[in-house]
Structure 1
Amino acid sequence: MNIAEYLAPAGWFVRNGGPRYVQLRQRLVDGIEAGILTPNSSLPPERELAEITELSRVTVRRAIHDLVRDGLIEQRQGSGSFVRDRVGRVEQSLSHLTSFTEDMARRGVQTSSRWLERGMFQASTDEVEVLGLAPGDQVSRIYRLREADGKPLALERATLPLDILSNPTEITTSLYEVLAAAGRRPVRAIQKISAVNIAAREAELLRVQEGAAGLRIQRISYLSDGRIAELTRSLYRGDAYDFVAELNH
């Protein structure tokens, strides 16, 4: 069934069945959930949708707007409206100190990274303060887009003192795996989680709408002797992650 046949009003529109934009919105939702409107497929232009559904362009626009807001439809400038490729939600425990690679491996998910920055740099003021360094010291920095089964889930920027990670190019998959091999794997961490709206550049990398909900996480990790080993600032897609904490009395 093509989209014109699926959206023909005889198959779903009910006169006096409620607001027209609500009926159209639900028809589109049903089509997405049933796989009739497949991920990354394009919708006809607004004018054509109005002709197919025999509704006004204002009604069509309102239904599409609601689906964009709900994260089901993505509007790409100059290209039109597309069905979003929905990412399955991932639950990550806040009770255990694990890496992204380890989290995904336990779920049988293959991970990959797109490197955005990797090298040695002069420490910034806040890196000096957090990591307990001297002004002018250098640090290892890695910044990458983390993907699971080819889908972007998070942006992760980690900074470590040079004596903890002397060669950032050693990192190919798991940072913690390299640190563990050197006897410098962190054993505990403090994390701060904040809700944010994702800015334009980060949204482009994560393949979400600008302003979409995200989770920004700052992690400060410690070695067994109490020394701070790592400062990581990450941005996770809000539609893909749930962070879960176990509370005991």
Structure 2
Amino acid sequence: MEPAAWQKCLQRHLRDTPAQLPRYQRLRAALSAALAAEAAQTGVLPGERALATMTGFSRVTVRKALAGLAAEGLVRPKPGAGTYVGERIVRSLSRLTGFTEDLRERGMNPRVEFLERETGEATSEEAMGLALAPRTPVLRFWRLRYGGGRALALERTVVPRSVLADPGAVQESLYEALEQVGARPTRALQRIRATAVDAESARLLGVEAATPGLEIERRAFLPDGRAVEFTRSIYRGDAYDFVAELEARPG
């Protein structure tokens, strides 16, 4: 992000922070919000002096705010080189995107390993998730998703075969394949819960069994209301932060 864009972004988020908070907490919150924006997902932050100039805060305040972000893993200081966006991936819950698109926007190279890719008939659970009749033809994908050279997530996805006929059409990105047939989803319901990663998933993700993780269930829909995706994922808890921007209802 260019310096002018950083300044505009920080000023906007500072206006949204309570004025009664200590300055370093306000700046920490504004920087955290900026890091959740798609334009600030990778690279190096402005230096302490530049941030002080942009915000009107002292360098002591800036240093304290950056230390708080570093403690959260959102940034990592490199002596003599600056402060870099941390290795944790900050993913916004306000946009409907896929794994591949998310990582590309952050300048990371996504990679997928297919553990299963098959056709079959919907189980009762899959039929319920996709609002289909039992035994309706579906495609199933079990994928290990990589970014930055490490395994980040395991995804089990079911798609109606009436929407996507050929399982081979999905290479790196499901949403790109759906877009090719005019069936990219425009809305989704997503449930996120904490979980202890089971032994098999832990082995594939390269973490210890019972490591904290995030279990995510997504049902995605076309504009006409048809469900086109039912996915259950396990994300590494040490790699992801999910961020939601909330607004108070008027009145």
Say yes or no: TM over 0.5.
yes
Q: Which letter does structure 1 place at the counterpart of 2:226?
A: R
**What are the Cα deviations for residues 165-196 of structure 1, in whole angstroms up to 9, with x where unaligned?**
11111111111011111110000101000100
In the alignment, what sits opposite 2:118? 119
In the alignment, what sits opposite 1:187? 186
1:90-109 equivalences under 5 Å are 90-109=89-108
Q: Which letter does structure 2 place at the counterpart of 1:241?
A: Y
1:176 corresponds to 2:197: no
Shift of 1:149: 2.3
1:243 corresponds to 2:229: no
1:68-217 equivalences under 5 Å are 88-217=87-216
Distance 2:245 2:191 in 1: 16
**What are the Cα deviations for residues 85-135 of structure 1, in whole angstroms up to 9, with x where unaligned?**
xx9210100000000000000011001111111010121111111212222
SS at match of 1:247: coil
Distance 1:136 1:193 in 2: 28
TM-score, with length taken from structure 2: 0.63
Distance 2:133 2:226 in 1: 15
Distance 2:182 2:160 in 1: 15
SS at match of 1:120: strand
Distance 1:130 1:216 in 2: 16
Shift of 1:244: 0.4
In the alignment, what sits opposite 2:27? none
Q: Which letter does structure 2 place at the counterpart of 1:138?
A: P
**What are the Cα deviations for residues 50-91 of structure 1, in whole angstroms up to 9, with x where unaligned?**
xxxxxxxxxxxxxxxxxxxxxxxxxxxxxxxxxxxxx92101
In the alignment, what sits opposite 2:219? 220
Q: Which letter does structure 1 place at the counterpart of 2:121?
A: Q
In the alignment, what sits opposite 1:43? none
Q: Which letter does structure 2 place at the counterpart of 1:203?
A: A
Distance 1:136 1:163 in 2: 13
SS at match of 2:95: coil
Distance 1:114 1:207 in 2: 14
Q: Which letter does structure 2 place at the counterpart of 1:144?
A: R
TM-score, with length taken from structure 1: 0.64
Aligned-pair Cα RMSD in Å = 1.1
Q: Unmatched 5+ residue regions in structure 2?
A: 1-85
Q: Which letter does structure 2 place at the counterpart of 1:229?
A: V
Q: Unmatched 5+ residue regions in structure 1?
A: 1-86
Which 4+ runs in 1 deviate beyond 3 A? none
Asked whether the equivalents of residues 119 and 169 of structure 1 are also in contact (C-alpha less than 8 Å), the reply is: no
SS at match of 1:201: helix
Distance 1:191 1:203 in 2: 23
**What are the Cα deviations for residues 115-168 of structure 1, in whole angstroms up to 9, with x where unaligned?**
111010121111111212222222101110000022000001110110111111
**Which structure's CA Rg is the greater one?**
1
> Once structures 1 and 2 are overlaid, which stretch shifts more, 167-176 or 132-141?
132-141
